Amino acid sequence: MKTSYLKSSLVSMAIALAGMSGAQAAETIKVGILHSLSGTMAISETTLKDTMLMLIDEQNKKGGLLGMQLEPVVVDPASNWPLFAEKARELLSQEKVAAIFGNWTSVSRKSVLPVVEELNGLLFYPVQYEGEESSKNVFYTGAAPNQQAIPAVDYLMNDIGVKRWVLAGTDYVYPRTTNKILEAYLKAKGVADKDIMINYTPFGHSDWQSIVSEIKKFGSTGVKTAVVSTINGDANVPFYKELGNQGLSAEDIPVVAFSVGEEELSGIDTKPLVGHLAAWNYFMSVDAEANSGFIDAWKSFIKNDKRVTNDPMEAHYIGFNMWVKAVEKAGTTDSDAVQQAIIGVSVPNLTGGYSAMLPNHHVTKPVLIGEIQENGQFEVVWQTSGLVAGDAWSDFLPGSKDIIADWRAPLACGNYNVKTAKCSGQNYE
């Protein structure tokens, strides 16, 4: 661990020096990595920075891109949202990076968005998010709600027979929107109001006694109940511990989580969690050739045999390869040309299939449901029969059902209202 830090700080020091001298800049293509390395989000984002370094390293070993070497530019926005915008501006206008891979939280993406649009950069965003957005300059390689939440609910409803729902989330925009969509979806499927319980908690909530007890009571009516959890980050550990201790087993009330992956599990004693579910587009346990290659590469790159892979890493893998392919197709790293070229580009994902970039800047992905195993891995118990296309604008929200995104000419609009035939909310000329 220590060596990897030392190494990455040496790398970044070298980068800083290189950036200052400016002489080499012409021979390399710079790739910006915008992930928090300190502060509250470092826990999740540091891994993604390392993933990007690995992908760039591998690409360079393959001979780089357009005959040039790729050069990673790592900055630390320190989990501070305004700093994300500032660092994005630094990457685009000072370092002149060809593309930025980064951000985890929605708010950091919202903060960066005006900057990439103003400077016409490219941002690859690797995390599942609430949707309701499609920017000319952003490529959403994580799941939209219809690529994670809705299939998960379908699974619970159809395969497990769940009839009562607890939508528990951290109080911020992703859970709020996801739960709004799910609520509308469930009601459309005939679930009554009294069979839906919605609960929000603050970030890092650690005392779950009352809420778990309430869930227990809610679930004791003899009707199959499930918890759809959009609980974020650190709050999960005490939540699952409390679930285990109050005796809510996965057989009684399964919890399906959208923010708990292998990396999160590596910090949790998984014994009480066994059987609970997660919905992702990728699991480390997936048996595919591409995946085992990726896992081996990752373990040897990070020099730690215990490290795990997770869904946002796969999203970066997909996003990076799409960008590489689009640049090769366009023959240039020019932002406009890449934006044109990347739509329709299809690259292998890690679950044995292909993912393609859609005109709305989202990608196609399979949706997998996994059950947590004692060893901290997921066992896939269900998966969609084919790929699911990411939907930028939910069909289940009144404000957005009439909006579509299509970045191809002639529409070339991220939120086109089919009713009013107007394209609004764009920050570019």
Partner 1 sequence: MKPYNPEQISRHMSRLLNWILLLACLTAGQLPALYAAESDTPLHAAAELFKSKKFDQKYQAIQLLASDGSEQARAILVALMDSRLYTLKRDQRLIMLGRRSGSPDAVDAITGESVGNVARGAMNKITLNNRMRSQIRNALAMLDLRNPDKTKRLAAVNQLLDRPDAASAALIQSLLEQESDGQIREAMEIVIALGKLSSGDKTERLAAVELLDGNIHPAVRNGLLKLQQSTSDEAFAAEIKQVLDNIKATLQLYSLVENIFFGLSLGSVLVLAAIGLAITFGVMGVINMAHGELIMLGAYATYVMQLLMPEHIGAALLLSIPVAFVISGLVGIGIERGVIRFLYGRSLETLLATFGISLILQQTVRSIFSPLNRSVEAPSWMSGSWEINSALSLTLNRLYIIAFCLLVFAALFLVLKKTSLGLQVRAVSQNRAMARAMGVRSEWVDAMTFGLGSGIAGVAGVALSQLTNVGPNLGQSYIIDSFMVVVFGGVGNLWGTLVSGMGLGIANKFLEPWSGAVLAKILVLVFIILFIQKRPRGLFPQKGRAAEG
Partner 2 sequence: MGLLNLLKQDRGGQLFLGLLALAAVLVPLLNLLPPEGHALHLSTYTVTLLGKYLAFALLAIAVDLAWGYLGILSLGHGAFFALGGYAMGMYLMRQIGDRGVYGDPLLPDFMVFLNWDALPWFWYGFDMFWFAALMVMLAPGLLAFLFGWLAFRSRVTGVYLSIMTQALTYALMLAFFRNEMGFGGNNGLTDFKELLGFDLQADSTRIGLFVVTALMLALGYIVCRAIVQSRLGRVAVAIRDAEDRARFVGYRVEHVKLAIFTFSAVLAGIAGALYVPQVGIINPGEFSPLNSIEIVIWVAVGGRGTLYGAAAGALMVNYGKTYLTGALPEVWLFALGALFVLVTILLPRGLIGLMKTRSKKGGAAA
Question: Which residues here bind partner 2, judged by CB under 8 A?
Answer: 5, 8-9, 12-13, 16, 37-38, 74-78, 80-83, 85-87, 89-90, 93-94, 105-107, 110-111, 113-115, 118, 132-133, 171-173, 176-177, 180, 200, 202-203, 397-400, 403, 414-415, 417, 420, 422, 424-425, 427
Least gap, CB of 200 to partner 2 (angstroms): 8
Based on the shown chain and the rule CB under 8 A, indicate whether residue 213 belongs to the binding site for partner 1. Answer: yes
Query: Looking at this protein, which amino acid is placed at residue 255?
Result: V
Neighbouring C-beta atoms of residue 408, cutoff 10 Å? 12
Contacts by residues 288-293 (CB-CB < 8 Å, ≥ 24 positions apart): 288/350, 288/351, 288/352, 289/352, 290/348, 290/349, 290/350, 290/351, 290/352, 291/350, 291/351, 291/352
d(CA 263, CA 125): 18
Query: Looking at this protein, which amino acid is placed at residue 284?
Result: M
* Partner that binds at residue 290, options partner 2, partner 1, none, CB closer than 5 to 8 Å by kind: none
Exactly one of 63, 267, 399, 425 binds partner 1 (CB under 8 A); which one?
267
Which one-letter DSSP state was computed for residue 391? Answer: -
- CB 58, CB 127: distance < 8 Å: no
* Partner that binds at residue 261, options partner 2, partner 1, none, CB closer than 5 to 8 Å by kind: none
* Partner that binds at residue 204, options partner 1, partner 2, none, CB closer than 5 to 8 Å by kind: partner 1
Kindly give the pairing relationship between strand 422-423 and strand 413-417: antiparallel
> Closer CB to partner 1, residue 229 or residue 270?
270
* Partner that binds at residue 76, options partner 2, partner 1, none, CB closer than 5 to 8 Å by kind: partner 2
* Partner that binds at residue 16, options partner 1, partner 2, none, CB closer than 5 to 8 Å by kind: partner 2
Which one-letter DSSP state was computed for residue 363? Answer: B
Exactly one of 22, 67, 190, 222 binds partner 1 (CB under 8 A); which one?
222
d(CA 358, CA 144): 12
Exactly one of 1, 17, 20, 23 binds partner 1 (CB under 8 A); which one?
1
- Per-residue x/- marks for partner 1, 143-182, CB under 8 A? -----------------x----------x-----------
d(CA 47, CA 315): 13
Based on the shown chain and the rule CB under 8 A, indicate whether residue 246 belongs to the binding site for partner 1. Answer: yes
d(CA 204, CA 202): 6
Query: Please, which of residues 368-387 interact with partner 1 by CB under 8 A?
Result: 371, 373-374, 379, 381
* Partner that binds at residue 8, options partner 2, partner 1, none, CB closer than 5 to 8 Å by kind: partner 2
Q: In what order do the strands lie in the sheet with 422-423?
A: 403-406, 413-417, 422-423
Based on the shown chain and the rule CB under 8 A, indicate whether residue 107 belongs to the binding site for partner 1. Answer: no
d(CA 394, CA 397): 6
- Dihedral of CA atoms 56, 60, 63, 65 in degrees, nearest 10, equals 40
Q: Which residues bind partner 1 (CB under 8 A)?
A: 1-2, 5, 38, 40, 42-43, 46-47, 160, 171, 200-202, 204-207, 209-211, 213-214, 220-222, 234, 237-238, 241-242, 244-247, 249-252, 254, 263-264, 266-272, 274-275, 371, 373-374, 379, 381
